[in-house]
Structure 1
Amino acid sequence: MRTSLLLILLLISATNFAQSEDEKQMKAIYDLALTEGKAYDWLNYLSNQIGGRLSGSVQAQQAVDYTKGQLDSLGLDRVWLQPVMVPKWVRGTPEFAYIETKPGLTTNVPICALGGSVATPDGGIKTNVVEVQGIEDLEKLGREKIEGKIVFYNRPMDPTQISTFSAYSGCVDQRYSGAAEAGKYGAAGVIVRSMNLRLDDYPHTGSMSYGETPVAERVPAAAISTKGAELLSATLKLNPAIKFYFKQNCKQFDDVESYNVIGEIKGTIHPNEIMVVGGHLDSWDLGDGSHDDGTGCVQSMDVLRLLKETGYRPKRTLRVVLFMNEENGLRGGNKYAEVARAKNEKHVFALESDAGGFTPRGFSFDCSDENLAQVQSWKKLFEPYLIHLFVKGYGGADIGPLKTDDLVLAGLVPDSQRYFDHHHAENDTFEHVNQRELQLGAASMASLVYLIDKYGTITSDKIKG
């Protein structure tokens, strides 16, 4: 342990000695990002010329072709496509739903099918509703009170959580597993309150799973907007005998081939040590996927450009990876890790941006205490840019499969208060992305990559030594 402490002190001392050089490099990165950033223009094309990029869609392939072309134009050492088989789920014609308080008296409410759901029968489903606050309520009610009815999951995100991602985690299980669990009790269908802290009329889609449920026994599942959920809940309290109708036409097809888009700059001293920065290229189909995760993709692309154009020559190989199929399968992240293991590649660092393009606050790290201490020793370098958060936490879904004991995983942490207003919804669109916030995020990511590359990471071998 004393050896480990000495190593950290030496690294901190070396960092302080070279601080003026680091300050100059970081200022060059931020200045370039804020005056000649490319991320916003790239996002404009992805969002407004291509649009939503659901895995297996024509738009997803257009995004692959476009981003590969842009990476080719940057003069990187290598750009290539990595094939990966992805699910192909299609939403079909727009969904439709209403609350029927008495025959002929109806109120329309906004819904959208959850990703991976089966369709309703051609005529839709109309039946009584049972409201629950979570999956655990199903067992209390039992089959007698659920069979033949629509289960309405209405647990909201917790507004007292300052971290909106914690609030999201606290209720997303009802979206992901709600249909599989309700089906066990004979439910006719499932309606889930949208994962959104704001009251509005936008239903939010997202992935769901039927687990091992046979196809013939799967029940349709849809999200209802938060305003719709409030109305449905209030109406049920006044009259538990009301009926709910919904119709959706989604369909699951066979898997199709798609690609991860990869570009790299070869390291000058340690080319076999790989550092990854990336986001996911696919999105849901309701909006244009700007915040989730067009911003992460274009920021990651710009990281390599910013370092290259400021004249920095990396010691290690820097690789940008635009992962396919994070939203409904994580096939891209798993494929990248699978190929990396098969080739015996040595990854030392991976950084993901998948929390929106809002003002950057800092980074979360999935790493050893020693590596966290090293990163925290750079905090003063970031403070002029109002980046203060360097905490242990989560790296990202797509880089997660790469995890080893020595690999440092990191996630960009933007301000999250508005993120779930747009997440997986029709209003996740380009006009809700601020150019300056986006550029600051790209510069912050490039600066962290620069420091990790320059000083390296602390491996378990070094700690033991």
Structure 2
Amino acid sequence: MKNNYKVSSKLALICMIAFIAVGKSQSKDEVQIKKMYDLALTEGKGYEWLNYLSNQIGGRLSGSVQAQQGVDYTKSQLDSLGVDRVWLQPVMVPKWVRGTPEFAYFETTPGITTNVAICALGGSVATPPKGIKANIIEVEGVEQLTTLGKDKIEGKIVFFNRPMDATEINTFTAYSNCVDQRYAGALEASKYGALGVIVRSMNLRLDDFPHTGSMTYGDQPESERIPAAAISTNAAEMLSTSLKLNPEINFYFKQNCKQFKDVESYNVIAEIKGSEEPEEIIVVGGHLDSWDLGDGSHDDGAGCVQSMEVLNLFKKTGYKPKRTVRVVLFMNEENGLRGGNKYAEVAISNNEKHIFALESDSGGFTPRGFTFDSSQENFEKVLKWKNLFEPYLVHYFEKGFAGADIGPLKKDGLVMAGLRPDSQRYFDHHHAENDTFEHVNRRELQLGAATMASLVYLVDAYGF
């Protein structure tokens, strides 16, 4: 009986020590995370950095002067943080120029015209110098071209008018389900003899802002390429209604864009070297380039400054990471993904060991959580950290797509994640003239930065 009592006492003591140890571990994590949220909301630099990127530099289309200014500015700011290393990684990028503003109208009867808001799609060829004027035919998507055939399409302008599905709560799903008409619409319509294409903007809201975005001609000869432009959602609705009343409407548009030879640009990279396992690399980043409409505040200035803020918060809290924490501001996500591909190419060539990659490219809105591209085993480990984010109303931890720029790094064992802010307003601004600084809320932006820093901290502390 005495021996049993001693054994029971020892077990109780061991359990108590284990409980206290776990409690201390949790407390340490909670304290560090709270520090980072507090500092992000009171002393964070991200909003100030974004103000400069947006209002002093503006839209940073790959290959432009503004893109280079963005490289120079962010490098200087990362240098000022006193991290272990900051450098530029050269990468060749496409140089496409929009030219003078686009112009369009539709003509219901000779001489009776209505102007509509359009913008050239990124990578499109120009119209002839005097523009294109032709009968217009409305379709719901690329697949309908086959049904109509060459007889009904040849010599006309194709109007792709499939809207984003308003019933989809995840607006990125709605976007994915109709973006093919923007990306491949011109390539497919040209096979049936179309003269040009007009694509409804990828936007859930009815407004007067046309939204640009990338498109492709594949390996099509230049002589066969046709011009492509986006039309605002309000104008798309009006044009569609007018076509129902009069199918013989003519549409006119003129654009002056041009593709030049590739030019050199850079990924901007900074890191804090790991104190215990420096060979294990944690990457966090966003893309520095944007479209030339607006100033690219949400897409993706926000993601860049949030990533920079991770290093700033580590420095401010005095946290010394065990593993190397690296920020990468990728160039050319919008129209080529050259920066993401170059970073992965160099990482593989140098035999670098990346264990985690986190991307922010969904706007600077209130953070809701993360999506993870990982094995089930690693995902289960991440789920154990979810309770640490609940005080900050960050509850969404799901498996899913992580990010375009970190995608080329993907390999077995690497855990990838994407910050998921509230997406309901994102496509109001995406690739449009109203993606500007005044539409970013400082508190929401800084909450996102602290959320990213907290996840990076946990990965660094416990690894995979």
Band of TM-score, shorter chain: over 0.9
Q: Distance in 1 between matches of 2:433 and 2:107?
A: 26
Q: List 4+ stretches of structure 1 deviating above 3 A.
A: 12-17
Residues 289/33 of structure 1: CA separation in 2 closer, same or farther (3 Å cut): same
2:448 partner SS: helix
Q: What does residue range 350-369 of structure 1 map to in structure 2 within 5 Å?
A: 350-369=357-376
Q: Distance in 2 between matches of 1:295 and 1:180?
A: 32
Q: Distance in 2 between matches of 1:13 and 1:348?
A: 30
- The structure 2 residue matched to 1:183, chosen from 180, 186, 190, is 190
Report the counterpart of residue 393 of structure 1 in structure 2.
Answer: 400
- The structure 2 residue matched to 1:236, chosen from 227, 243, 264, is 243
Q: Note the C-alpha offset of 1:307.
A: 1.0
Q: What does residue range 106-145 of structure 1 map to in structure 2 within 5 Å?
A: 106-145=113-152
Could you report, residue by residue, the CA deviation over 1:37-82 in whole angstroms, capped at 9, with x for unpaired residues? 1000000000000000000000000000000000000001000000
Could you report, residue by residue, the CA deviation over 1:221-251 in whole angstroms, capped at 9, with x for unpaired residues? 0000000100110000000001000000000
Q: Note the C-alpha offset of 1:16.
A: 5.9
- The structure 2 residue matched to 1:430, chosen from 433, 437, 440, is 437
Q: Note the C-alpha offset of 1:273.
A: 0.5
Residues 147/382 of structure 1: CA separation in 2 closer, same or farther (3 Å cut): same
Q: Distance in 1 between matches of 2:388 and 2:340?
A: 31
Residues 415/348 of structure 1: CA separation in 2 closer, same or farther (3 Å cut): same
Indicate the RMSD between aligned Cα atoms, in angstroms: 1.2
Q: Note the C-alpha offset of 1:419.
A: 0.1
Could you report, residue by residue, the CA deviation over 1:206-233 in whole angstroms, capped at 9, with x for unpaired residues? 0000012110000000000000100110
Aligned AA for 2:152?
A: K
Q: Distance in 2 between matches of 1:329 and 1:197?
A: 25
Aligned AA for 2:372?
A: F
- The structure 1 residue matched to 2:257, chosen from 246, 250, 255, is 250
- The structure 2 residue matched to 1:55, chosen from 62, 68, 85, is 62
Q: Distance in 1 between matches of 2:94 and 2:349?
A: 23
- The structure 2 residue matched to 1:266, chosen from 270, 273, 277, is 273
- The structure 1 residue matched to 2:110, chosen from 103, 106, 117, is 103
Residues 15/149 of structure 1: CA separation in 2 closer, same or farther (3 Å cut): farther
- The structure 1 residue matched to 2:94, chosen from 71, 87, 92, is 87
Aligned AA for 1:275?
A: I
Contact 1:80 1:261 in 2 (8 A): yes
Q: Note the C-alpha offset of 1:17.
A: 5.4
2:90 partner SS: strand
Q: Which moved more, 1:303-312 or 1:176-185?
A: 303-312
Does residue 306 of the first structure (1) align with residue 313 of the second (2)? yes
Higher Rg of the two aligned structures: 2
Aligned AA for 1:84?
A: V
Q: Note the C-alpha offset of 1:318.
A: 0.4
Report the counterpart of residue 339 of structure 2 in structure 1.
Answer: 332
Q: Distance in 1 between matches of 2:331 and 2:369?
A: 25
Could you report, residue by residue, the CA deviation over 1:381-409 in whole angstroms, capped at 9, with x for unpaired residues? 10000000111001100000000110000
Aligned AA for 1:428?
A: D
Residues 76/161 of structure 1: CA separation in 2 closer, same or farther (3 Å cut): same
Contact 1:303 1:445 in 2 (8 A): yes
Q: Note the C-alpha offset of 1:309.
A: 1.1
Report the counterpart of residue 29 of structure 1 in structure 2.
Answer: 36
Contact 1:92 1:250 in 2 (8 A): yes
Aligned AA for 2:296?
A: G
Q: Distance in 2 between matches of 1:167 and 1:139?
A: 23
Q: What does residue range 67-82 of structure 1 map to in structure 2 within 5 Å?
A: 67-82=74-89
Report the counterpart of residue 42 of structure 1 in structure 2.
Answer: 49
Aligned AA for 1:227?
A: N
Does residue 206 of the first structure (1) align with residue 222 of the second (2)? no
Q: Note the C-alpha offset of 1:95.
A: 0.1
Q: Distance in 1 between matches of 2:454 and 2:352?
A: 24
Residues 317/140 of structure 1: CA separation in 2 closer, same or farther (3 Å cut): same
Q: Distance in 2 between matches of 1:146 and 1:15?
A: 69
1:18 partner SS: helix
Identity of aligned residues (%): 78
* Unmatched 5+ stretches in structure 1: 1-11, 458-465
Aligned AA for 2:72?
A: D
Aligned AA for 1:129?
A: I
2:259 partner SS: strand
Residues 236/311 of structure 1: CA separation in 2 closer, same or farther (3 Å cut): same
Residues 109/216 of structure 1: CA separation in 2 closer, same or farther (3 Å cut): same
Report the counterpart of residue 451 of structure 1 in structure 2.
Answer: 458
After TM superposition, the score normalised by the length of structure 2 is 0.95
Contact 1:158 1:167 in 2 (8 A): yes
Aligned AA for 1:226?
A: T
Aligned AA for 2:388?
A: L
Contact 1:15 1:378 in 2 (8 A): no
